[in-house]
Structure 1
Amino acid sequence: MKHEKTDLYVAPLDGEWVKSSFSNGSGDDCVQLMKIDGGVALGDSKSPEREPLRYTPSELRAFIRAAKAGEFDPLID
């Protein structure tokens, strides 16, 4: 079943957050993801009051491919 992007923002956040193993031990780099109906939620565990961003599987795949290819490296100091 294909989901519309707006459907992702009504999907409940009732799964388990998966925290990046690259997050440092002091909790400063806390990127976390959760599988939701129709996609993935991306949150920041330091700011749980913020609404997580939500992405379709194809959006997340495109981002991961670009990150692995180093396309975003110039954005990092």
Structure 2
Amino acid sequence: MTTSIQPPDSWQMSDRERANLQKVTLYNSVQSLSEIWPLAAKHYNQTIALHDPHAKPEVKFTYAELNEQIQKFAAGLQSL
């Protein structure tokens, strides 16, 4: 008999995660993980968020670009 692990209905921050997140003023109003990327994109806009020099071709995204890609990916998942 196999037992499958079911994912939670929604992700919930632990008290420790919430306390650490509130130390960062930018994120003190965040209630869910999905709210972080738009805030980071607005605040850090053209700062490099992701850089993989080992990928072929090299991958580099600013916070604004990464947020856009995350939004597109999320929309694609929702359309399934």
TM-score by length of 2: 0.29
TM-score by length of 1: 0.29
More strand by share: 1
More helix by share: 2
Higher relative contact order (CA 8 A, sep 6+): 1
